[in-house]
Every structure is written in C-alpha cells, then in structure tokens.
Amino acid sequence: MRKLAATLAATMERVNSVAILASGCLVLIMMVLTLVDILRRTLALYIPELYIPKAWSVEFGEAALLVMTYLGMAYLLSKNRHVAVDLVRSWAHGKAAAIWDVTICFVVFCFAVLITWRGGYIAWDYLLSGKLTPDGFPLYMVTLFIPIGGFMLALQALVEILSRILPGEG
C-alpha cells in the first residue's frame, strides 16, 4: 500500500507541475492579448480604422480563468497553499489535529468526486447538444476542464489522506 501511495504521490507531483506550467502559459497569453487590445484601442483614438473589436479575446480570458482555476486546485492542495479556515484546527493538537486533517482531506475528496461527476455530466451534455460560446467555440471544450480538475483534486486529496494515515509517508 505504501508503494502505491508513493507512486500516486510522485505521479500527482508531475501532473501538478504540468498543470501549473499550462496555467502560467495561459496567464501569459491573457496578458499579451490584453496588452494588444489596449494598444489597438489607444491607437484607434488617432487612427480609427485600426480598432476592430475582438470579443474572442475576452471570451478566451474567461475560459482561461476557468481552466486555470480547475488546473490549479490540486497543486494548491499539494503545497498546502489553499485558503483554509483554521479555527477548529488551531484548537486541536496531537492526535486530534491529525484526525481533523484527515477528515478535512476526506471532505475535499468527496467534493472533488462531486465536481468531477457533475462537471463531466455538464461537459457531456454540452458535447451532445453542440452548445457554442457567442463566438462559436464549442462550450464542452471549456467545461471539460471542470471534471479534469476535479479528478486531479480527488487524486491529490487521496495522496494527502494516505500520507497522513500510512506510517512513514509524507
């Protein structure tokens, strides 16, 4: 069981690294698109023919924010950099704190399974219905990152649980 947990932890570390790199690239693309749009609008004050509204850049930004959010969840959990309310945890010490940590990881796991299931259902529905964004981009390609991110979060929560309950792990 420890070997399986170690393999899962190492795999998730690699997957999280790729996901964060992809998220960083999306941020860079969003910044460039925004800068180009601002420059075009500024120049259009002097040369009106230069400005052609690009609604797809706004749509790309919205989609990228969704993708970055879901790709980053597992990474944040793995690095313990997520937003947390430590009210109960601050009162617990020793074994009680360890039990609380495992309980919270289990709740996160259940939440991740739920968003994987529902997100997958929604993405599948959008695929079958052929729903498009206002600019004609298939909506399922964006919503597909909800179950992908949820699945990554579920696996990372499992890694966190195993690292806390197996002796010699983490």
Number of structural domains found in the chain = 1
At 168 the pLDDT is 64
Domain range for 100 is 2-165
Domain assignment of residue 131, yes or no: yes
**Does residue 170 lie in a domain region?**
no
- The predicted pLDDT at position 51 comes to 67
Half-sphere exposure at residue 102, Cβ-oriented, CA atoms within 13 angstroms: 11
| CA atoms of 140 and 88, how far apart (whole Å) | 39
Which parts of the chain sit beneath pLDDT 70?
A: 50-51, 53-55, 83-89, 168-170
The pLDDT assigned to 40 comes to 82
Domain contains 141: yes
Nearest Cα neighbor of 59 from 136, 147, 149, 144 is 136
Q: Which of 166, 155, 162, 168 is nearest to 12 (CA)?
A: 155
What pLDDT does 37 receive? 83
Q: 70 lies in a domain? A: yes
Asked if the structure places residue 15 within a domain, the reply is: yes
The sign of the CA dihedral 84, 102, 167, 1 is: negative
The dihedrals phi and psi of 34, each to the nearest 5 degrees, come to -65, -45
Residue 72 placed within a domain: yes
Which pLDDT belongs to residue 170?
45
Specify if 92 maps to a domain.
Answer: yes
pLDDT in tens, 109-132: 999 999 999 999 999 999 999 999
Q: Contact, 106 vs 161, CB < 8 A?
A: yes
> To the nearest whole number, what is the mean pLDDT of the chain?
88
Long-range CB pairs of 30-39, under 8 A, 24+ apart, other chains included: 30/60, 30/61, 30/64, 33/57, 33/60, 33/61, 34/61
Residue 144 lies inside a defined structural domain of this protein: yes
